[in-house]
Amino acid sequence: MDVSLSETQRLIQDSVKAFVESEIPFSRIREVESSGDMDRKLWKELAELGWLGLPLAEEHGGQAGGLADAGVLIEALTRRAVLVPIAESVVAAATLQRHAPTDVAADILPDLANGTSIAVPAVLEQEDSFKTWSIEVGADGTLTGKKYFVDYGGQATHHLVAARSDGEPGLYLVQAQTPAVTTSAVQNIGKVPQAIVTYEGAAATRVCGQDGYEFLVGLGRLLAAIQCVACSQQALDMTVDYVAMRVQFGQPIGTFQAVQHHCANMATHTLASRYLVFEALWRHDRGEADDTQIAVAKTQASRTATEVTMMAHQLHGGMGLVTEYDLHFFSLRGKQAALSWGSSEECLGLVSDTIEEPEQWL
């Protein structure tokens, strides 16, 4: 048991931080955001630096890192509010690496690692439920239907689509940049590129069954939770800096006890959320995290992102709301991540579903 970052993880954290701070000014984020597209230049750079292959095996051009390492990477990137499908890509790539047939994996993973392809999950349908979806793959190996809320669905080259064949649920790889796949953008609070995707006879390769699907959903939840933690931490740090500097009534407002206590609460929630998410992610990597543990982590992280970022706004006053300032990136992306892959309410429901089961408290 050791909650501290490993040497490798510290290296990832430091070098990504140094990279985004020197190369990605927030003005760039504003530009990309208003374009409605992803940050394609950054994506290329991440590929060149080898980050896209972090959790992939060396044989696929990766660095053989663990999922927790990927979590550290995603946290560091999210703390700069970058608009790239790094979480989506890790979800898809890790699922393919573990659950796809060898040839399918060998075919696509090197392209994901070098950034020439981008794969993202496409799970939800109109019902917004991870339990109910209905697209059937036809006898001709194509699928037809609509997927909702596909993050970076319009930017990806491949979709990992939840569908059924002969009633058997599974995941299917679909080439997205073909006439059989059309996307229509939807606007969300996080200003993350997101689409409704319509498949009309799109060719689909079966990747895995229920097991792989569950792995994917668990990982999706946890990487959304990592983003919640990242936004909370960033908002907390910005707030601590701000209240230490902002003077009212002749003293920094950070000397007022009420302000200090708000910050203390924000720090407590953020620290606990970080632990819960990383522990669950680390266990998920080893196939040991059950749905309840993942749901506990996502519930807590989602609530923390909501509460901490909005308290950050309260303590920043007007300045925090101005789009020229950077706080809003984290409050809005934080809430978006909180709602993604199961909101706190949905995940709380999952925890309650298994409430009778005894817990290990050590």
Partner 1 sequence: MDYEWDDDILAFQKELRTFCEEFSTDLRAAEDQAGRDLVFKKVHGEMERRGWLRIAWPEEYGGGGKSPFYQFVMVQEFSYAGIPYGGLSVGSIAPALLNHGTDEQKQKFLPGILDGDITFAIGYSEPNAGTDLAALQTRAVKDGDEWVINGQKIWTSEAHVSTHLWLAARTDPTAAKHRGISMFILSMDTPGMTVRPLYTMSGVRTNEVFFEDVRIPADSLIGEQDKGWYTVANALDFERVSLAPTGQLARQFDRTLEYLKEERTEQIADKGTRQRLAELKIDLHVLRALNIVNASIIANRETPTMEASMTKIWSSELRYRLSSMNMDLLGRYGGLRSDDEGLTPVDGQNEQTYRGSPILRFGGGTNEVQRNIIAHRGLGLPR
Strands 158-165 and 168-175: antiparallel
If we measure between CA atoms, which residue out of 160, 46, 140 comes closest to residue 93?
Answer: 160
The least CB distance from residue 345 to partner 1, in Å, is: 4
CB 180 within 8 A of CB 203: yes
Residue that is written with structure tokens 């908002």 in the block: 235
Query: Which residues between 186 and 245 bind partner 1 (CB under 8 A)?
Result: 186-190, 196, 240, 243-244
Query: Which residues between 4 and 33 bind partner 1 (CB under 8 A)?
Result: 4-6, 9
CB of 1 or CB of 355, closer to a second copy: 355
SS3 328: helix
Site of interaction with a second copy (CB under 8 A): 256-258, 261
Contact between 332 and partner 1 (CB under 8 A)? Answer: yes
If we measure between CA atoms, which residue out of 355, 252, 267, 356 comes closest to residue 304?
Answer: 267
Query: Which residues between 112 and 141 bind partner 1 (CB under 8 A)?
Result: 124, 128
Contact between 147 and partner 1 (CB under 8 A)? Answer: no
* 27/43 Cα distance (integer angstroms): 17
- Rounded to the nearest 10°, the torsion over CA 61, 64, 65, 67 is 90
Q: Which residue(s) pair with 202 in the sheet?
A: 143
Contact between 320 and partner 1 (CB under 8 A)? Answer: yes
Residue that is written with structure tokens 């696509």 in the block: 108
CB of 115 or CB of 320, closer to partner 1: 320
Q: Which stretch binds partner 1 (CB under 8 A): 44-52, 57-65, 139-147, 249-257?
A: 249-257
CB of 126 or CB of 260, closer to a second copy: 260
Residue 51 interacts with which of partner 1, a second copy, none, CB < 5 to 8 Å by class: none
Phi, psi of 116 (to 5 degrees): -75, -25
Contact between 257 and partner 1 (CB under 8 A)? Answer: yes
Instruction: Give the residue, chosen from 134, 177, 210, 248, that forms a contact with partner 1 under the rule CB under 8 A.
Output: 248
Instruction: Give the residue, chosen from 42, 199, 313, 334, that forms a contact with partner 1 under the rule CB under 8 A.
Output: 313
Instruction: Give the residue, chosen from 13, 37, 214, 256, that forms a contact with partner 1 under the rule CB under 8 A.
Output: 256
For 241-264, give the DSSP string: HHHHH-EETTEEGGGSHHHHHHHH
Q: Which stretch binds partner 1 (CB under 8 A): 31-39, 96-104, 174-182, 306-314?
A: 306-314
- CA-to-CA separations, 344 to 71, 260, 278, 349, in angstroms, rounded: 20, 27, 17, 8
Instruction: Give the residue, chosen from 40, 144, 252, 290, that forms a contact with partner 1 under the rule CB under 8 A.
Output: 252
- Which x/- pattern over 44-83 shows residues binding partner 1 (rule: CB under 8 A)? ------------------------x---------------
Contact between 287 and partner 1 (CB under 8 A)? Answer: no
CB 337 within 8 A of CB 231: yes
